[in-house]
Amino acid sequence: MKVARLYRFNDIRIEDMPIPEVGPREALVQTKACGICSGDILPWYIEKKAPLVLGHEPVGVIVAVGEEVDHFQVGDRVFVHHHAPCLNCRYCRRGHYSMCMTWRRTRLIPGGIAEFFLVPEINLQQDTLKLPDNVSYEDGVLIEPTACVVKSLRRAGLQTGDIVLVIGLGVMGLLHVLLAREYGAGTVIGADKVASRCARALELGADYAINVSRENVIEWVAMITEGIMADLVIVGPGNREAIETALAAAGKGSTVLLFTPLPPGEKLPVEPYRLYMNEISLVPSYSCGPDDTRQALSLIQQGVVTAEKVITDRFSIEETPLAYRAMAEAQDTIKAIITFP
Ligand SMILES: [Zn+2]
Ligand SMILES: [Zn+2]
C-alpha cells in the first residue's frame, strides 16, 4: 500500500509498505479521506516526530476485523481517533484525557495518510465511531478538528451572550466561529491577515471580521464593544505576538484560550497585576478526548459543521506534498484533505 511519509518539513515522500496484519482484537480500515491538520504544519512540532506517516484525521471503511471483535464488522464506515485514553488513570478520571500516558502512546498504524491503517484494540474500544448515513466521509474528516474546538470552548467556559474574539481564521478559527455561534455567543469577532478568510468568517456567522493587515485588532475590538473588550479570546496562531494581542483585547473577567502550542523554551511577558485585577484567565487546550469526538459527530450530524463550510481543497495521496504546502501557506486554502478511491 502507499503511504505519505514526512522526513522534514519540506520533504514528504510517497512510499510503499506492507498492509498491516490484523490481530484478534484489531481492525483494518481502508482509508477514504484524511485531513491535513493545522498542527501538522508547525515545522518545529512535526519535525520532532519525523520520520512519520502523516495524518491523524482519517475516516474509512472496515475491511477486516480480528476474530474477537464484536462491535464492528466489515463494511462499517468509521471515524477513528488517533489517540485513545485508558479511562482509568487519575488524569482520565479527572477528564484530562490528553494527559493520559495511554492516550499519548496510542496511535493508528502507520498513520492516516495511507491506503489502509490498523486500528489497535484500545482505539477501537474507546474512540472509533460509526458514521451515520447522512454523514459523508468528508464530513467525518472534521470530527477530530471539531472535537478539539468542542473541548476548547468547554475549557474556556463560554457563556451565553459572550463577546468572543477569534484570532486566526484558518480552519480551526472558523470552527470556533461556528461553534461559538451554536453555543450562544452574543457577538463573534474574527481577525486574520487574509481577506478571503475574513470573508468566509462573515459567511459562517461572525458579526465582524478584522483584517489585521490593514486594521488594528485592539482598536477595533474596543470600538465594536464600546470599551468592554472580549469576554473570550481564542488564540489560533502559535506565536507570542498573537497571545499579546489577545491579552490586550481581553476584558474584565475574561478568558484567553491558547489553542496552539509555542515552541519549548519560548517565554511570555505577562503582567500578573493586570491579570489579577481584571480576573483574566489564561487557559490552554490540547487536542480532545472521546467525549468531545462524540459531541463533534453530533454537531456534524445536525449540520452545524459540514465539509462544504470549511473543506476547500482535495488532493490524491500522490499529491500530499501539495496539500501540505497549501495548508502551510495559510492563504486561500482553509482545509485540505486527501481523498482515496
Ligand atoms: Zn488534527
Ligand atoms: Zn488514562
Cα(83) to ligand 2 centroid in Å equals 11
Cα(92) to ligand 2 centroid in Å equals 4
Instruction: With a cut of 90, say whether residue 156 has pLDDT above it.
Output: yes
Cα(292) to ligand 2 centroid in Å equals 15
d(CA 197, CA 208): 12
Cα(93) to ligand 2 centroid in Å equals 7
Cα(82) to ligand 2 centroid in Å equals 15
Residues 40-46 have a mean pLDDT of 87
Cα diameter, the chain: 64
- Per-residue pLDDT at 262: 94
Residue with grid cell 491535513, as numbered in its chain: 36
- The ligand whose atoms approach the alpha carbon of 104 most closely is 2
CA dihedral 79, 84, 88, 94 (to 10 degrees): -90
Task: Label residue 209 by pLDDT band (50, 70, 90).
Answer: very high
Cell readout for 79 is 471515524
Cα(144) to ligand 1 centroid in Å equals 6
Go through 74-90 and write b for each residue having 16 or more CB atoms within 10 A of its CB, e for each that does not. eebbbbbbbbbbbbebe
Q: Ion ligand 1 — residues with CB under 5 Å?
A: 37, 144
Go through 189-216 and write b for each residue having 16 or more CB atoms within 10 A of its CB, e for each that does not. bbbbbbeebbebbeebbbbbbbbbeeee
Residue with grid cell 504544519, as numbered in its chain: 41
Cα(288) to ligand 1 centroid in Å equals 9
Q: Smallest Cα–Cα separation from 247: which of 274, 286, 224, 219? A: 274
- The ligand whose atoms approach the alpha carbon of 126 most closely is 2
CB distance 339 to 315 below 8 Å: yes
d(CA 8, CA 324): 12
Cα(188) to ligand 1 centroid in Å equals 23
- The ligand whose atoms approach the alpha carbon of 96 most closely is 2
CATH number of 2-142+306-339: 3.90.180.10
Q: Ion ligand 2 — residues with CB under 5 Å?
A: 85-86, 89, 92, 100
- The ligand whose atoms approach the alpha carbon of 93 most closely is 2
CATH fold label, 147-284: Rossmann fold (3.40.50)
Residues 47-57 have a mean pLDDT of 92
Cell readout for 227 is 470599551
pLDDT digits (tens, 9 = 90+) for 245-266: 999 999 999 999 999 999 999 9
CB distance 255 to 231 below 8 Å: yes
- The ligand whose atoms approach the alpha carbon of 289 most closely is 2
Domain ranges of the chain: 2-142+306-339, 147-284
Task: Label residue 43 by pLDDT band (50, 70, 90).
Answer: confident
- Counting beta carbons within 10 angstroms of the beta carbon of residue 53, is it exposed (0 to 12), middle (13 to 18) or buried (19 or more)? buried
Cell readout for 194 is 487574509
CB distance 224 to 205 below 8 Å: no
CB distance 288 to 139 below 8 Å: no
Cα(271) to ligand 1 centroid in Å equals 32
The overall average pLDDT reported for the chain is 97
Instruction: With a cut of 90, say whether residue 47 has pLDDT above it.
Output: no
CB distance 16 to 113 below 8 Å: no
Cis? peptide before 110, omega within 30° of 0: yes
- The ligand whose atoms approach the alpha carbon of 37 most closely is 1
Cα(100) to ligand 2 centroid in Å equals 4
Task: Label residue 48 by pLDDT band (50, 70, 90).
Answer: confident
Cα(187) to ligand 1 centroid in Å equals 27
- pLDDT over 90, % of the chain: 95
CA dihedral 177, 313, 75, 119 (to 10 degrees): -70
- Per-residue pLDDT at 172: 97
User: Which residues is 164 bridged to in the sheet?
Assistant: 188, 232
Overall pTM > 0.95? yes
Q: Residue 24: how many CB atoms within 10 A of its CB? A: 10
Cα(57) to ligand 1 centroid in Å equals 6
